A = this chain, B = another copy of it.
Amino acid sequence: MVSRLITHIEKQVALSAEEKSIIEDVLFTEHLKKKQFLFKAGEPCRAKYFVVQGCLRLYITNAKGIDQMIQFGIDNWWITDYLGFKYKKPSVFNLQAVNDAVVIAVDEQQMEELSGKIPKLERYFRLVLETAYGASLMRFNYVFNMSGEERYRFFSTMNPDFVQKVPQYLIASYLGVTPEFLSKIRAKKV
């Protein structure tokens, strides 16, 4: 299963057979049960997670006790509390498997070992992060320039399979609307 990550890396940087085997020696997969947590708010976030299979959710429980989705983690996506991981502070987010999932965890030590032995992995991560950050800037565009209804129509057009696979209230939260309002939008779909 680590081969799935290697394939993803090779889309950005070339790897020798030796480098691939270094990666396979250092990293291993982790199987998560539905609703299993990788970390909770207040706990340290010790790793970055590459999603091989399934879906994770990064969310925060707000002052009213409502869970607010921050980010989905699906196939070939890196997800973590980047600031918590970086500054070694207790996480403000929760990271949980939405359904049974497979991830590859990379902790600080593994990260340093790998980038020491294979410096071009830094380039891989740089490129991955540019995409993630770029996409997140676009998301602000959607959040500020589209109504809740427009965001839902757009999101479900762009991700038709995904909206079938995860509970609606998670989609609602990710889009910044209540599940009641999303239900209303769907009902009026002609």
Q: Which residues of A contact B (CB under 8 A)?
A: 58, 60, 62-63, 68, 70-71, 81-83, 86, 92-93, 115, 119-120, 122-123, 125-127, 129-141, 143-145, 173, 176
Also in contact, A144 and B176, with CB within 8 A (given A126-B126, A129-B129): yes
**Interface contact A120-B119, CB-CB below 8 Å:** yes
**Interface contact A136-B134, CB-CB below 8 Å:** no
**Interface contact A123-B129, CB-CB below 8 Å:** no
**Nearest-CB distance from A163 to chain B (Å)?**
19
**Interface contact A81-B143, CB-CB below 8 Å:** no
Bound-state CA distance A72–B133 (Å) is 14
**Nearest-CB distance from A73 to chain B (Å)?**
12
**Interface contact A145-B63, CB-CB below 8 Å:** yes
8 new A-B contacts, CB < 8 A, other than A81-B134, A129-B130, are A71-B140, A81-B137, A82-B133, A83-B138, A86-B131, A119-B120, A122-B123, A129-B129
- Chain A interface, >50% SS class: helix
Bound-state CA distance A92–B138 (Å) is 9
Residue in A58, A123, A144 with the greatest tally of chain B CB atoms within 10 Å: A144
**Nearest-CB distance from A64 to chain B (Å)?**
9
A176 contacts across to B, CB distance below 8 A = 143-144
Bound-state CA distance A62–B143 (Å) is 12
A86 contacts across to B, CB distance below 8 A = 127, 130-131, 134
